[in-house]
Amino acid sequence: MKIFATRGRRAAVAVPEVSGPQPAVRSGLPHRFEAVGEALTSGTDVLQACGVAGQDLARDGASVEETLEGLRTTWRTLGDSDPSYDVVAAVLTAWSETTLGYLHQLSCEDPLTGLSSQAHLRSRLSELYRLGSAEGGAGHHALVVVAMPLGDDPSEEAGDHFTRAMRLARTGELARTAFVRDETVARLGMHRVAVLTRRDDRLGRRVRVLRTLLDGVEAGSGPSVRVWIEGLPPTDPGAGMLLDELARG
């Protein structure tokens, strides 16, 4: 069966002709594709509904075969055509990105950049908090955060994950040059790198070295990379909220 029936512009998604009340359409569709059926019958944003369906199916643990079969069944239930390329791409992109994000949370290393994952950094912080106020505990550590400028290169274009990941990988390499002990260098979100390091009398000097290295690489390429020292909260749950906030920035 030909899944990719047509490859057109997003605005040219073919909507099969349907009739009958919307609740009846919902009841006959595969699980997670009910909203897609509603979008088709109402003429609203089909691609957005397909993206949500792909995300939900990935979270449910559905395979790519099950996802495509549900999509094809939905289209054939509401009409006599197969889904277009844009529709299939919307579902599979959402499914793959959600699945990849879940795998990143399970892994100690981000596969695109080679940096530690945010989940691993979170685990390291929890270990420090369990030490309490003892030497080597969270109170004796800090985060050095490197924030890449926004909107200054092609990596800001939607979908250009590879270019963005390469910039973060390069930033991580420079961070490891300045912090050469047992520090954890991790990716935070799409634009930031964090270094979990000891708070000692050499921290300021190492941050200055990192700034110098970054300025040398980014010179003349647009806005400067921001680098700052972020103190750790007094509690482990607070540290988790801090990481989430930094990752969203």
Residue pLDDT tens, the chain, 249 long? 444 343 333 334 444 544 443 343 445 789 999 999 999 888 889 999 999 999 999 888 889 999 999 999 999 988 778 899 999 999 999 998 887 766 655 567 777 788 998 888 998 999 999 988 777 788 899 999 999 887 554 444 444 567 778 889 999 999 999 998 889 999 998 889 999 999 999 999 999 999 999 988 765 555 678 999 999 999 999 999 999 999 886
Q: What 3 state SS string does 85-124 have?
A: HHHHHHHHHHHHHHHHHHHHHHCCECCCCCCECHHHHHHH
Where exactly are the structural domains of the chain? 10-105, 108-248
Residue 190 to residue 86: CA distance in whole angstroms? 25
pLDDT of residue 61: 86
Protein fold of 108-248: Alpha-Beta Plaits (3.30.70)
Cβ–Cβ < 8 Å for 65, 3: no
pLDDT at 44: 86
**Tell me, what's the pLDDT at 184?**
94
Non-local CB neighbours of 18 within 8 Å, separated by 6+ positions: 25, 40, 41, 78, 79
Strand, helix or coil for residue 171: helix
